[in-house]
Amino acid sequence: MKLAPLILPVINAVVWGGLSWMGRGGIAYIESQHAPGYPNLGQIQFYLAFPLLMLSVALVPAVLLSQTKWSVFGSLWSVLTLLAVIPYLFYYGGGV
């Protein structure tokens, strides 16, 4: 089993998984305040559902391709999904 192609998927798992974890924590904090109308569906989708979707989009093809002769494409996919964090963080932090 080749482990070198799995380094980038692990980094993706840490980044997108961490964003999902923080998003869930933020949603739980908002729920504990019992503010009417919060968290709304848009916040749940942006802070929890989208990072979880990106986590699966980043990991499934990369891990499956990393064990074949097309491991270069798995690594390229991992780099592209890791670069997708940059524009996401612009809006995650409240703007540019």
Instruction: Give the pLDDT confidence of 7-56 residue by residue, as tens digits.
Output: 889 999 999 999 999 999 999 999 999 989 999 999 999 999 999 999 99
The reported pTM is 0.88
d(CA 66, CA 69): 8
| pLDDT of res. 71 | 83
Range of the domain at 19: 4-92
Residue 88 in tokens:
């996401």
| pLDDT of res. 54 | 95
| Number of domains making up the chain | 1
| pLDDT of res. 21 | 97
Q: How many CA atoms lie within 13 A of 12 on its CB side?
A: 29
Surface-to-core class of residue 90, CB atoms within 10 Å of its CB (0-12 exposed, 13-18 middle, 19+ buried): exposed
| pLDDT of res. 66 | 78
Residue 1 in tokens:
């089993």
Only one residue has tokens 């995650």, namely 92
**For the segment 64-74, what is each residue's pLDDT rounded down to a tens digit?**
887 788 888 88
